[in-house]
Amino acid sequence: MTLPETGPAGLTAAARTPISPRWYASGLVGVLGLSAMLAFIRLDREGLGYPNYAATVLSMERSWHNFWYVSFDPSGFLAVDKPPLGFWVQALFVHVFGFGSWALLTPQALATVVSVAVLMLLVKRSHGPTAGLLAGLFLAACPISVAVGRTNLLDSQLVLELLLAAWAMLNVCERGKWAWAMGGGALLGLACLTKGAQALVVAPALVLPVLFTSAVPPFRRLVPAVLAVVFVFIVAFPWLVLVDHTPTTQRPYVGGSSASSEWDLLVGYNGAQRLSGTANVAPTMGPAARWPGPPGPLRLLDRQLGDQISWLLPLAFVGLVLGRGLTRGTRSAWWLWVGWAVVPGALFSILPAYLPYYVATMAPGLAALQGIGLAVLWERHRAGAIPTWRLPAVLAVAALVQLYLLMDFWSWQPWLGPGVAALVVAGCAAFLGARRLPAHWAYRLSCAGGALALTGLLLAPGTWSLTPILQGMTYRDMPYAGLLPASAVSTHHAASTIDLALVRFLRARQGTARYLLATPDSYTASPFILATGRPVLTLGGYTGRETPLSLSSLGRLIGEGGLRYVLLPADAASGLGTANRPTPSQAVAAACQPLSPADWESTGLGHTKSPAPRYPGYGWEMLVGLVLYDCGAHHGN
């Protein structure tokens, strides 16, 4: 659709972007090619991803029962602490292609590339092809989006589902058809089935365009919004209700919950506890140096988050100020992207604690505003609708923000900061000098200046985004693209980092026991599941702080020969229980026979005199060794 001219003061990118279809197609292929390169090159070196999620998918392949209930272990004893949809997708890929790195990681890499394509199309529709290409480019080069897309975490799938929901809700605004609201709600429901309450962080942004710019009369705008909410429940809640109404003896214990309830998991561990910062994630997720800093308005610019998502924040601010436009489609999209950037941004600035890679959820909103802001500035600069110095000034501020973010990493690549400064200064000089030349040469020089400045602004985030390809992701910390201390970088993975002598020892002596061994939680159990494919019992549930098994049930299991060996930290006897009500780990440590490390140990895992990793190869918190207990000796086994 061709929009009417509005004059310099009312310029919109959609109305005044003279880009030929051939150039647009070339740009589209180039951006998608860049995204695919960052997502897929050397993807297999990432191994199996997070071991507990990889173990879940391996277990789901064993039976339809495990598949439906997203069972963490092959025996169906414990369910993972997330909704099922993302794992269902991974399990289907594994079913078709076989269990391995590519099958586990490809769904997320594909979702990353498709998300870039969807964002470009959405922004192009409202603000023109230049803004669309820039938005896609900024999302493709966003370090945290690249990092998350190369893991088996589900955030990339979540972002794609949210973008599709946004497409449906924008259609509500432009066409006034309530069927699109139902579709948008259904897609948001699928997002909730992927990552639970995290999907709702973006929900306000999806509703804002309908409430403020919909084609239907104002008094009827609540109807499509309510319809969308209804369809969220229709899609997201049936599985939850079915699981919670299944007798607990016929399904796995719901990991992360306090009462084996998916509803409790949704509103508790993955809801209120995440918002309050009390969820049991910090003790098991790597060094504090990578956790978000103190809450505050500048939190997104701190060392922990700034280099992952905040390189181009000044351009997003420009998009917020100038991108509203005059047409309904432009205003609807503006409300969407502003809500997508501001609501999660405010939330991530005030929450007490959260996993840093969660900020990948807000990346599409920021990328869209950045692309819109730069495109609108460019068009107004070319039309003479703004002072000559304004575009160079914005670019200079964006460069100064990047230099600030680079301060902590100056010694890593000493050329990076000067490179950013030189390219942006050259681009700004070209913009300022173009006004003194004839129109034909001024246009060429401005284009050259724009290319130089854009290259400068993408130099640092692009370098950060390349690091997963060059040095591999680290699973000793959490998804991160960029410089890490040498001690935190590891490309080892679960099946190759556990003590193989211990695995052979346990396999040879399992006999008719149902479980290979028992461990405190899913993090210690997952390497053994991945290495053997055999059931491993988690005494403390998924996080180590749950009670999926009573002491009487544990005693009966051991007495009947269903479990013989238990691997516990050396300090398990101290635990968190009481004399009258010990924990299962305390009971095992008191009743079972500790084995000498010489009986099974080959790499020092069993020594108790020096610290050893709790989860070898993953950098989890350090404990004073691990002890293998034999509970069969007391029962004649």
Report pLDDT for 585: 80
The answer to pTM > 0.85 is: yes
Nearest to 132 by CA among 8, 2, 256, 25: 25
- E-strand ranges in 211-313 read 253-254
- E-strand ranges in 171-261 read 253-254
Report pLDDT for 356: 87
- Residues ≥6 apart with Cβ < 8 Å to 356: 144, 290, 291, 292, 304, 305, 308, 478, 480
Burial class (CB in 10 A: 0-12, 13-18, 19+), 96: exposed
Report pLDDT for 412: 80
Residues 316 and 341: beta-carbon distance below 8 Å:
yes
d(CA 159, CA 39): 15
Residue 593 φ then ψ, to 5° = -95, 120
Report pLDDT for 480: 82
| Distance from the first to the final alpha carbon of the chain | 79
- Residues ≥6 apart with Cβ < 8 Å to 115: 139, 145, 156, 159, 160, 163, 364
Other residues' Cβ atoms within 10 Å of the Cβ of residue 370: 30
Report the DSSP beta bridge partners of residue 198: none
CA distances from 152 to 48, 89, 104, 223 (A): 8, 11, 6, 38
Residues 208 and 334: beta-carbon distance below 8 Å:
no
Place of tokens 């997720």: 285
Residues 182 and 226: beta-carbon distance below 8 Å:
no
Report pLDDT for 2: 35
**Residue 142, token pair as written in the block:** 């966003």
- pLDDT tens profile 463-515: 999 988 887 765 545 788 876 543 344 433 433 356 678 888 999 999 999 99
Report pLDDT for 290: 57
Report pLDDT for 473: 65
Give start and end residues of each alpha helix (H) in 416-569.
416-434, 439-471, 494-497, 500-509, 522-532, 551-559
- Contacts for 343-346: CB closer than 8 Å, 24+ residues apart: 343/201, 343/202, 343/204, 343/205, 344/201, 344/202, 345/300
Task: Tell me the mean pLDDT per 10 residues along the chain, length 637.
Answer: 36 53 92 97 89 95 96 96 96 95 96 98 94 97 95 96 97 87 96 94 93 78 91 96 95 92 90 70 46 85 87 91 76 93 94 88 96 93 87 94 89 89 95 84 88 95 91 66 52 49 88 92 90 93 88 90 89 55 78 82 45 33 64 62
Report pLDDT for 15: 40
Nearest to 206 by CA among 155, 175, 160, 162: 162
Report pLDDT for 476: 46
- Tell me the DSSP string of 11-40: --TTTS----HHHHHHHHHHHHHHHHHHHH
- pLDDT tens profile 92-145: 999 999 999 999 999 999 999 999 999 999 999 999 999 999 999 999 999 999
d(CA 356, CA 148): 11
d(CA 87, CA 55): 11
